C-alpha cells in the first residue's frame, strides 16, 4: 500500500512545484531553511556545552590554576605593627610605652574614661551579663535598649530612634533600607567609607558632587532632571546623603543650602552625624542645632555612639514613619545581635552627662577654636590645617608633599612616630586607598578634647614644629 | 506578588539515616534513603530543593542523622489557603479602614518611599502576630529570662507596657554554653577590664584602637581553634559584610549555600564577585556547580575564574542542619577551590571539645581556608573573628574594611570572650567548660529525640542545638509562641519572609544551662500544645521505648 502511495504523492508534489510561482518557491524554501537553521543552531549550541568528554573536563580541571586566596601583604605595613595602647584612652594615654597627650582618638568629651560612665557599665554587667545573645527580634531587646532609644529620640526632639550594634553598620544599613536599585543618590565626594558601603549595598545610581559645593550639586540635580524621562521620574526616588562634619576633611556641611536644594528637587535627605552629634550646637544636638534648621526637614539623622559618647554602636532618629521601617529592613539591625547592654548603659550615662552640663558644648567649641587657631600658625612649618574651626576633627595636610603617595604616607608616618615619642599622640588618618571612591590626600587627623589646656596646645605646636624641622626641611 | 506559581516545581527531599547507632528515634532501616517528592514552596529560583545528601555509605565516620521531612499535602494546601485568606482579609481591611499609623508630613510630591506590597504585608499580615517578636527582656538571657509584659489594645498596631514581668524558661537566646551570666568569673573579669581599659578606645584598629586585650584575645582565639592566627572585630555581622569583599573581586566566583545568612550574602554582594548558589547541604549539587564552573569558566568569555570560593555555615541557624564538612573539603581540594566557613552558631557549641564543626568532624582546621565565627552565641559576648594561616590574617589586618574604618572591640566584651574561651579549654584549671560542652550535647540529643517521638516534624541534624519545629501555618506560629509564653516558655517563631511561605516554624535554642527537669517541663507543655493545635505532622515511624537522658558521654 505504501509503495503505491508514495510515488504518486511525489509526482503530485513535483507537479505542485512546477505549477508554483518562483516567488512562492523561494518563500517556502526560505521558511524551511530558516526552520532548519533554528533547529540546527540550538542543537549545535547544546552540543557545544556537552561536547567535552569527562577526560577532557578532568584535564581542564587539572590545568586550572587559581590565584592564591590572598596576596602576601608587604611586611612593613603599619597595620601589621599597630600602636598598642596600654590602659585607658583618656585625655592622656600610653602608646607603645610613651605617655602621650591624646590628639588621636575620638574621645571629644572625655566620656570614654569618665567614672560615672564606667560605673553604669559595671552595674549593667551585674544585672544583664555581657552579651545580649540574640538579635533584637529574638529576645535580644533589653529594656536598656528601649530606654536609650527613647532618650535619643527625646534628646533630638524626633519621634523615634533605633539603635544599632556597630557604628559602621548603622549608616551602611540605613541607606540600603530605603534606596534600592533604580533609585538615585547624590552624595558628597568626601563622604566616609561607611556611607560608601551603604551606597554600594543599595545598588542605586550614585552621583558624587564636589566636596561642600552646593552649585555642583545643583548642576548634577538639574542635569539629572533634564535627562530623566518624566514617566520614570515619577517612580525614581532621589536621596541626598551628607555628613554633619566630614570625618575625612573635618569640614562642616552647608546644611541649610543643601536642604533647600533637596526640597526644591524633592530629594530625601540622610544626614550622617557621626562626628557632629554631641559636639555641634549649643547643647550638642548636632549640625541641625548649629544651623538652627528644623530637624523635621531632614528625613533621617544617623549618629554614632562611638566617638562623643565613648561607647560602641550607632543610632538613627527621625519620624516614626521613617525609622520604624528599619526595624524590618535594616540588615544590620535585624540580622545582628543587639548592642551589649553594658555599652547601651554607658551610652545612656554619657547622654545624661551632656544633658546635665549645659556649658560643656561651649567649652568644647572654645577648645576646638583655640586648637584650630594654634594649628593655623603652622603654615611656616609646612602644614595646612583643614576643618571647621569649632569642630573637633582637624586635618593637617602637608603644604609641599612628595608626589609619590607611598613617600607621602611614609613621611606622615615618621612625623607621627616623632610626635608619639615626644609625648603627643598624633596619627595619620587611615584609608584603604585602592577601594575608596575618591582618592584621599594623606593627612594627620587631629582630634580636640574638652580637657585640652592652653599649655598643652603650646606643647603640641612645639612638637609639631620640631617634627617639621626634622622631616620637612 | 511572590505567591504566583506557588505550586510549581517539584522539590526533592531525601531523608537519610547514615547509621543507626545514634538514632533510636527513627526506625532507621526504613527511613534510610526514603525519597519523597513534593511540590515546591515559592520562588523556585531562590529556594528550590533542599535535599540532604549524606555520602556516607557506612564507611569511615558514623554520621548522625539529618532529616527534612516533607509536609503532608493536606497541610500544604491549608497553609496556602490560610495565607491567601489573610491576604484577602488584609486588603479588605485596608480598603475599609485607614491604618492608624503615622503618615508622612511635608513630603508632598515626593516619590513614595516604600514599596506598596511590603507596606501592606507588614501592616496587615505581619501585624497580626507582631506581638511574637521584639519582646523586651529585663534580665540576663540565661537559662531563664524575665520578659517585660506588654499588651495591645488595637490589634497589634501599638503596645503598652503593663509594668509586670514574667520569668520564662529561655529557649530563644543563643546562649549555647550558658556563658550569659551576671556573676561568676566571666562577669567579674569583664568588670575588671572596664576598670583597666574603660568601655571603648574610640578609635579603629589601624589607628589607636589596639590594646593588649585585643592581642590577647586574638592569640587565645587562634589557640582555641588550632590555627596560626586570628583577627577580631567588634560586630559579628560586620565581620562577614566587611571582610568578604576584600578577598574577592570581579572575576572571582563564589559558590554559596542557599541558606547562608544575610551577612554573608551582603558581603558577597558588596564584593562584586559572581555568585552561584547550591542547594542546601547538597554535595551532589555543589559538585555539579563546581565542576561546571571550572570547566566552563566565566560566562561568554570562557576565561577561567580567578579563584573560586565556597561559602558555607557550620550550623544553619534556621534549618538546624550541619554542613557536611568532610565532603566539602574533599570537593574543595578536588576542584582547587577555597572554603570560607562561617561558624557563627557552631563554634563553642559543636564538637567534643567545643571547637566547632571542625572539631565535630575531626578534620584538620588547616583544611578550611577561612574560619569565621562570632562571639555572640556560645561565648555570651559580641563581635566576630577570622582565623587561619598567618598570611591570611595579615592580609586581613592590612586590607579589612572593619580594621581600617570601624571602631575596635570594647574591652569588657573582649574579656568576656577570653575568660569563657579559657574555661572551655580548661585553662582555668577546672572541668567546667568540658562539662558545659557535654551538657549541651546531651540536652540536644534528649530534646530532639523526645520531640521526634512526640510526632512533630523537626528539621536538621540530631546533634544541632538549633531545633526548628515546623508548624507550617502562619497563624500557628502566633498561636504556639503565645501559648508557650503563657506557659512561661520563651521561644522564637519564624515565618515568611524569613523562611519560605510554606515553612513557618518555631525555633528552640538549647543551652548547657538547661537542666533535664527544665527540658522535661517544656516537653510536657509542648506535648499538650502539639495535641491541641495539631502539630503532629510527622509520618515517620516513631520510637516506642523510653528515651533515656544520657548521664555520661564518653
Q: pLDDT digit string (tens) for B344-375?
A: 999 999 999 999 999 999 999 999 999 999 99
Ramachandran bin of A16, using left for φ above 0, alpha for ψ from -120 to 50, beta for the remaining angles:
alpha
Whether cis (ω within 30° of 0) applies to the bond prior to B497 is: yes
* pLDDT: which is higher, A21 or B392: B392
Q: What pLDDT, on a 0 to 100 scale, did the predictor assign at position B115?
A: 86
Which domains does chain B carry? Answer: 129-170+432-533 (3.90.1150.10), 185-425 (3.40.640.10)
User: Using 50, 70 and 90 to split pLDDT, how confident is the model at A324?
Assistant: very high
Phi, psi of A395 (to 5 degrees): -115, 130
Helix (H) or strand (E) holding B437: helix B432-454
Are the Cβ atoms of B139 and A346 closer than 8 angstroms?
Answer: no
Place of cell 548522625: B64
Nearest to A118 among B173, B180, B198 (CB): B198
At A338, is the pLDDT very low, low, confident or very high (cuts 50, 70, 90)? Answer: very high
The region, left, alpha or beta by phi > 0 then psi within -120 to 50, assigned to residue B27 is beta
Residue the block writes with cell 574555661: B423
B527 band by pLDDT with thresholds 50, 70 and 90: very high
Q: Count of CB contacts below 8 A, A vs B?
A: 364
Put simply, whether B550 touches A (Cβ < 8 Å) is no
Strands (E), A134-267: 160-164, 184-188, 205-209, 238-243
pTM of the model: 0.88
Task: Report residue A100: phi and psi, to 5°.
Answer: -125, 150
pLDDT of residue B551: 67
pLDDT at B282: 94
% of chain B at pLDDT higher than 70: 88
Q: What is residue A445's predicted lDDT score, i.e. its pLDDT?
A: 96
- What DSSP state is assigned to residue A377? G
Using a CB–CB cutoff of 8 Å, tell me whether B148 touches chain A.
yes
Residues in B touching A71 (Cβ below 8 Å)? 395
CA A275 to chain centre: 13
Residue B553 has pLDDT above 60, yes or no: no
Q: CB-based contact (8 Å) between B203 and chain A?
A: yes
- B114, B199, B490: best to mutate for the A interface, most A CBs within 10 A: B199
Binned at pLDDT 50, 70 and 90, residue A20 comes out as low
pLDDT of residue A140: 94
Kindly tell me the number of DSSP H helices and DSSP E strands found in chain A. 17, 15
8 Å CB contact between A327 and A125? no
C-alpha cell at A444: 594627620
Confidence of residue B63 (pLDDT cuts 50, 70, 90): low
* Alpha carbon of residue A21 to chain centroid: 73
Residue A45: predicted pLDDT: 52
Instruction: Tell whether the model's pLDDT for residue B391 goes beyond 50.
Output: yes
H or E element in which residue A447 lies: strand A444-447
In angstroms, the CA B184 to CA B186 distance is: 6
Q: What is the pLDDT of residue B48?
A: 34
Q: Rounded to an integer, what distance in angstroms lies between the CA atom of residue B227 and that of residue A458?
A: 49
| Interface residue of A48, A60, A70 to substitute, partner B, most B CBs within 10 Å | A70
* Predicted local distance difference test score (pLDDT) of residue B550: 78
C-alpha cell at B106: 511635608
Beta bridge partners of A316: A162, A302
Measured between beta carbons, which residues in chain B are less than 8 angstroms from residue A127? 139-140, 182
The predicted-structure confidence for A310-319, as pLDDT tens digits, reads as follows 999 999 999 9
pLDDT number for residue A253: 97
What is the pLDDT, as a whole number, of residue A465?
96
Contact across the interface for A266 and B134, Cβ inside 8 Å: no
Quick check: A141 and B134 CB within 8 A? yes
Least confident of A40-54, A216-230, B484-498: A40-54
- The band of B43, judged by pLDDT with boundaries at 50, 70 and 90, is very low
Show Cβ contacts of residue B185 under 8 Å, excluding neighbours closer than 6 positions.
Answer: B419, B423, B428
Q: Tell me, what DSSP letter sits at residue A266?
A: T
Residue A101 sits at the chain B interface (C-beta within 8 Å): no
pLDDT of B21 over the 90 cut: no
What are residue B255's DSSP bridge partners? B276, B310
For B318, the grid coordinates are 534556621
CB proximity B260 to A under 8 Å = no
- Asked if B484 reaches chain A (Cβ–Cβ under 8 Å), the answer is no
Does A109 reach chain B within 8 Å, measured CB to CB? no
Q: How far is CA B353 from the centre of its chain?
A: 20
Concatenate the DSSP letters of all residues of B277-317 into one string.
Answer: EE-TT-HHHHHHHHHHHHHH-STTT-PPPS-EEEEEESB-T
Cα–Cα separations (whole angstroms), residue A473 to A411, A427, A460, B228, B461: 12, 20, 19, 44, 69
Q: Residues 196..215 of A with a Cβ closer than 8 Å to B: which?
A: 197, 200-201
Sign of the Cα pseudo-torsion (B370, B375, B377, B378, in order): positive
The pLDDT of residue B104: 82
Q: Is B534 helix (H, G, I), strand (E, B) or coil?
A: coil
pLDDT at A230: 87
Beta carbons of A372 and A387 less than 8 angstroms apart: yes
Whether residues B197 and A64 touch (CB distance < 8 A) is answered with no
Distance (Å, whole) CA A333 – CA A166: 9
pLDDT of residue A392: 96
Res B41: pLDDT: 34
pLDDT at B498: 79
Do A243 and A188 meet the contact criterion of CB atoms below 8 Å apart?
A: yes
| DSSP single-letter state for residue A386 | E
Q: What values do phi and psi take at B370, rounded to 5?
A: -125, 115
Question: Using CB atoms and an 8 Å cut-off, which of residues 348-387 of chain A contact chain B?
Answer: none
Is residue A253 within 8 A of residue B129, CB to CB? The reply is no
The pairs formed by A204-211 with CB atoms below 8 angstroms and a separation of 24 or more are A204/A179, A204/A180, A204/A239, A208/A437, A208/A438, A211/A246, A211/A249, A211/A251
Residues of B in contact with A432 (CB under 8 A): 399, 401, 404-405
Give the range among A251-260, A313-322, B57-66 with minimum mean pLDDT: B57-66
- B277 Cβ under 8 Å from any chain A Cβ: no
Cα–Cα dist B276/B94, whole Å: 39
Out of A24-33, A100-109, B93-102, least confident range: B93-102
DSSP result, B108-166: TTSPPSS-HHHHHIIIIIGGGGGGGSS--B-S--SSEEEEEEEE-SSTTS--EEEEEEE
Tell how far CA A270 is from the center of its chain: 12
**pLDDT at B5 exceeding the cut of 60:** no
pLDDT, tens digit (0-9, with 9 covering 90-100), for B167-223? 999 999 999 999 999 999 999 999 999 999 999 999 999 999 999 999 999 999 999
**Please, what is the angle between helix B262-271 and helix B236-247, to 10°?**
30
Cα–Cα distance for residue pair A304/A392, rounded to 1 Å: 15
H or E element in which residue A344 lies: helix A341-356
What pLDDT is recorded for position B42?
Answer: 33
**Nearest-CA distance from B423 to chain A in Å?**
16
Q: β-strand B384-388 against B229-233: which pairing, if any?
A: antiparallel
Using a 10 angstrom Cβ sphere, with 0-12 exposed, 13-18 middle and 19 or more buried, the burial of residue B391 is: middle
| pLDDT, averaged across chain B | 86
C-alpha distances in Å from residue A67, one per residue of B115, B228, B334 = 42, 22, 16
- Look-up of cell digits 520604624: A324
Query: What separation in angstroms does the CA of B147 have from each of A130, B183, B253?
Result: 18, 20, 45
Q: What's the average model confidence in pLDDT over B119-132?
A: 88
CA distance B30 to chain A (A): 36
pLDDT band with cut points at 50, 70 and 90 for residue B549: confident
- Number of Cβ atoms within 10 Å of the Cβ of A439: 9
The Cα B68–Cα B540 span in angstroms is 11
Q: Is B325 helix (H, G, I), strand (E, B) or coil?
A: helix
The DSSP H or E segment spanning B28 is: helix B28-31
Which residue bears the cell 581600617?
B404
Model confidence at A40, pLDDT cuts 50, 70, 90, reads confident
Is residue A22 within 8 angstroms of chain B, CB to CB?
Answer: no
pLDDT value of residue B34: 34
Each residue of A183-207: b (16+ CB within 10 Å) or e? bbbbbbbbbbbbbbbbbbbbebebb
Chain-centroid distance, C-alpha A109: 23
ipTM: 0.88
- Strand runs labelled E in A180-265: 184-188, 205-209, 238-243
pLDDT at A8: 53
- Cα(B214)–Cα(B231) distance, integer angstroms: 9
* Contact status of A139 with chain B (Cβ, < 8 Å): yes
Mean pLDDT value of segment B329-348: 96
pLDDT tens per residue across span B432-465? 999 999 999 999 999 999 999 999 999 999 999 9
Which of A2-16, A433-447, B240-254, B507-521 has the least mean pLDDT?
A2-16
As a whole number, mean pLDDT of residues A111-127 equals 95
Q: What strands lie across the sheet with B160-170, from one edge to the other?
A: B144-151, B160-170, B489-490
In chain A the domains, ranked by start, together with CATH numbers, are 83-112+358-472 (3.90.1150.10), 137-356 (3.40.640.10)
Please tell me which residue, B63 or B497, carries the higher pLDDT value.
Answer: B497
Report chain A residues whose CB lies below 8 A from the CB of B136: 141-143, 145-146
> Cβ of B242 and A201 within 8 Å?
no
- Band (B22; pLDDT cuts 50, 70, 90): very low
Count each helix (H run) and each strand (E run) in chain B, helices first: 17, 17
DSSP B204: B
**What is the Cα A318 distance to its own chain's centre?**
19
Strand partners, B253: B274, B308
Question: Residue A15 — pLDDT band, cuts 50, 70, 90?
Answer: low
**Interchain CB distance below 8 Å, B238 and A122:** no
Task: Give the three cell numbers for residue A126.
Answer: 551585674
Task: With H, G, I as helix, E, B as strand and everything else as coil, classify residue B4.
Answer: coil
- Cell reading at A299: 528625613
A346/B173 CB distance under 8 A:
no
Q: How far is it, in rounded angstroms, from Cα A297 to Cα A322?
A: 13
CB-based contacts of B500: which residues, under 8 Å, 6+ apart?
B41, B42, B43, B47
Q: Identify whether the C-beta of residue A162 lies closer than 8 Å to the C-beta of residue A323.
A: yes
**Residue B99 — very low, low, confident or very high, per pLDDT cuts 50/70/90?**
confident
pLDDT of residue A426 exceeding 80: yes
C-alpha cell at B552: 555520661
Amino acid at each position: 500500500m505504501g509503495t503505491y502511495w508514495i510515488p504518486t504523492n511525489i509526482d503530485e508534489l513535483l507537479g505542485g512545484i512546477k505549477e508554483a510561482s518562483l516567488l512562492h518557491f523561494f518563500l517556502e524554501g526560505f521558511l524551511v531553511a530558516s526552520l532548519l537553521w533554528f533547529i540546527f543552531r540550538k542543537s549545535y549550541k547544546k552540543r557545544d556545552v556537552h561536547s567535552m568528554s569527562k577526560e577532557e573536563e578532568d584535564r581542564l580541571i587539572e590545568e586550572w590554576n587559581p590565584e592564591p586566596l590572598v596576596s602576601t601583604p608587604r611586611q612593613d605595613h603599619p597595620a601589621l605593627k599597630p600602636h598598642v595602647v596600654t590602659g585607658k584612652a583618656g585625655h592622656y594615654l600610653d602608646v607603645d610605652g610613651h605617655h602621650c597627650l591624646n590628639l588621636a582618638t575620638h574621645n571629644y568629651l572625655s566620656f570614654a574614661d569618665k567614672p560615672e560612665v564606667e560605673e553604669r557599665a559595671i552595674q549593667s554587667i551585674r544585672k544583664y551579663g555581657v552579651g545580649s545573645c540574640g538579635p533584637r527580634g529574638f529576645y535580644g531587646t533589653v529594656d536598656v535598649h528601649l530606654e536609650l532609644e527613647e532618650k535619643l529620640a527625646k534628646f533630638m526632639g524626633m519621634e523615634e530612634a533605633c539603635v544599632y550594634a556597630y557604628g559602621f553598620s548603622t549608616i551602611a544599613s540605613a541607606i540600603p533600607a530605603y534606596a534600592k536599585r533604580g533609585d538615585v543618590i547624590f552624595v558628597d565626594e568626601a563622604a566616609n567609607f561607611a556611607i560608601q558601603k551603604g551606597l554600594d549595598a543599595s545598588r542605586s545610581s550614585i552621583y558624587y558632587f564636589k566636596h561642600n559645593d552646593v552649585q555642583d550639586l545643583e548642576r548634577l540635580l538639574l542635569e539629572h532632571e533634564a535627562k530623566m524621562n518624566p514617566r520614570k521620574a515619577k517612580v525614581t526616588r532621589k536621596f541626598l546623603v551628607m555628613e554633619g562634619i566630614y570625618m575625612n576633611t573635618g569640614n562642616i556641611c552647608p546644611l541649610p543650602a543643601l536642604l533647600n536644594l533637596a526640597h526644591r528637587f524633592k530629594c530625601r535627605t540622610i544626614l550622617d552625624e557621626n562626628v557632629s552629634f554631641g559636639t555641634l550646637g549649643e547643647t550638642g544636638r548636632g549640625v541641625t542645632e548649629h544651623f538652627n534648621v528644623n530637624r523635621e526637614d531632614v528625613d533621617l539623622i544617623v549618629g554614632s555612639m562611638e566617638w562623643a559618647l565613648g561607647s560602641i554602636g550607632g543610632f538613627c532618629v527621625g519620624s516614626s514613619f521613617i525609622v520604624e521601617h528599619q526595624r524590618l529592613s535594616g540588615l544590620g539591625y535585624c540580622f545582628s545581635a543587639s548592642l551589649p547592654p553594658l555599652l547601651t548603659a554607658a551610652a545612656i550615662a554619657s547622654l545624661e552627662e551632656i544633658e546635665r552640663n549645659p556649658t560643656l558644648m561651649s567649652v568644647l567649641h572654645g577648645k576646638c577654636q583655640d586648637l584650630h587657631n594654634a594649628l593655623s600658625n603652622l603654615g611656616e612649618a609646612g602644614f595646612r590645617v583643614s576643618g571647621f574651626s569649632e569642630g573637633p576633627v582637624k586635618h593637617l595636610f602637608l603644604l609641599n608633599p612628595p608626589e609619590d603617595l607611598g613617600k607621602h604616607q611614609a613621611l606622615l608616618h615618621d612625623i607621627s612616630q616623632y610626635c608619639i615619642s615626644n609625648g603627643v599622640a598624633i596619627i595619620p588618618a587611615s584609608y584603604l586607598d585602592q577601594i575608596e571612591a575618591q582618592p584621599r590626600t594623606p593627612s594627620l587627623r587631629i582630634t580636640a578634647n574638652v580637657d585640652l589646656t592652653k599649655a598643652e596646645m603650646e606643647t603640641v605646636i612645639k612638637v609639631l614644629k620640631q617634627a617639621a624641622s626634622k622631616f620637612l626641611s | 506578588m511572590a505567591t504566583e506559581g506557588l505550586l510549581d516545581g517539584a522539590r526533592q527531599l531525601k531523608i537519610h539515616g547514615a547509621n543507626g547507632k545514634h538514632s533510636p528515634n527513627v526506625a532507621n532501616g526504613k527511613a534510610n534513603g526514603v525519597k519523597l517528592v513534593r511540590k515546591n514552596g515559592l520562588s523556585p529560583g531562590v529556594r528550590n530543593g533542599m535535599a540532604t545528601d549524606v555520602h556516607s555509605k557506612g564507611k569511615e565516620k558514623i554520621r548522625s542523622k539529618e532529616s527534612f521531612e516533607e509536609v503532608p499535602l493536606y497541610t500544604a494546601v491549608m497553609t496556602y489557603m490560610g495565607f491567601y485568606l489573610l491576604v484577602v482579609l488584609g486588603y479588605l481591611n485596608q480598603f475599609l479602614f485607614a491604618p492608624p499609623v503615622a503618615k508622612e508630613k511635608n513630603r508632598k510630591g515626593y516619590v513614595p518611599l516604600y514599596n506598596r506590597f511590603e507596606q501592606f504585608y507588614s501592616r496587615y499580615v505581619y501585624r497580626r502576630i507582631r506581638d511574637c517578636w521584639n519582646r523586651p527582656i529585663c534580665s540576663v538571657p540565661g537559662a531563664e529570662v524575665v520578659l517585660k509584659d506588654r499588651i495591645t489594645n488595637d490589634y497589634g498596631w501599638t503596645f503598652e507596657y503593663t509594668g509586670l514581668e514574667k520569668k520564662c524558661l529561655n529557649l530563644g537566646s543563643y546562649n549555647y554554653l550558658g556563658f550569659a551570666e551576671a556573676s561568676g568569673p566571666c562577669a567579674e573579669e569583664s568588670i575588671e577590664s572596664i576598670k583597666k581599659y574603660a568601655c571603648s578606645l574610640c578609635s579603629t584598629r589601624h589607628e589607636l584602637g589596639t590594646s593588649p586585650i585585643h592581642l590577647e584575645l586574638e592569640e587565645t582565639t587562634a589557640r582555641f581553634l588550632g590555627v596560626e592566627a586570628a583577627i577580631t572585630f567588634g560586630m559579628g555581622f560586620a565581620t562577614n559584610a566587611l571582610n568578604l569583599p576584600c578577598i574577592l573581586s570581579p572575576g572571582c566566583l563564589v559558590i554559596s549555600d542557599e541558606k547562608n545568612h544575610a551577612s554573608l550574602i551582603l558581603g558577597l554582594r558588596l564584593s562584586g564577585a559572581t555568585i552561584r548558589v547550591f542547594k542546601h547541604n547538597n554535595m551532589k549539587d555543589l559538585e555539579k556547580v563546581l565542576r561546571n564552573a571550572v570547566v566552563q569558566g566565566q560566562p561568554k568569555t570562557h576565561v577561567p575564574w580567578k579563584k573560586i570560593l565556597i561559602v558555607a555555615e557550620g550550623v544553619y541557624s534556621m534549618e538546624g542542619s550541619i554542613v557536611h564538612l568532610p565532603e566539602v573539603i574533599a570537593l574543595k581540594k578536588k576542584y582547587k577551590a577555597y572554603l570560607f566557613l562561617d561558624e557563627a552558631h557552631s563554634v563553642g557549641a559543636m564538637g567534643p571539645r567545643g571547637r566547632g564543626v571542625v572539631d565535630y568532624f575531626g578534620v584538620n582546621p588547616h583544611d578550611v581556608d577561612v574560619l569565621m565565627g562570632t562571639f555572640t552565641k556560645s561565648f555570651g559576648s559580641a563581635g566576630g573573628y577570622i582565623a587561619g594561616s598567618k598570611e591570611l590574617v595579615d592580609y586581613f589586618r592590612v586590607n579589612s574594611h572593619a580594621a581600617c574604618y570601624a571602631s575596635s572591640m570594647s574591652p569588657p566584651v573582649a574579656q568576656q570572650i577570653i575568660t569563657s574561651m579559657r574555661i572551655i579549654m580548661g585553662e582555668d584549671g577546672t572541668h567546667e567548660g568540658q562539662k558545659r560542652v557535654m551538657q549541651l550535647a546531651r540536652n540536644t540529643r534528649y530534646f530532639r529525640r523526645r520531640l521526634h517521638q512526640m510526632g512533630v516534624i523537626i528539621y536538621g541534624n540530631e546533634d544541632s542545638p538549633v531545633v526548628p519545629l515546623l508548624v507550617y501555618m502562619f497563624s500557628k506560629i502566633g498561636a504556639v509562641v503565645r501559648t508557650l509564653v503563657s506557659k512561661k516558655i520563651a521561644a522564637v517563631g519564624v515565618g515568611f519572609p524569613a523562611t519560605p511561605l510554606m515553612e513557618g516554624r518555631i525555633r528552640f535554642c538549647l543551652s548547657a544551662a538547661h537542666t533535664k527537669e527544665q527540658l522535661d517541663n517544656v516537653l510536657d507543655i509542648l506535648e499538650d500544645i502539639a495535641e491541641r493545635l495539631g502539630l503532629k505532622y510527622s509520618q515517620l515511624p516513631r520510637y516506642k521505648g523510653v528515651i533515656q537522658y544520657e548521664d555520661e558521654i564518653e
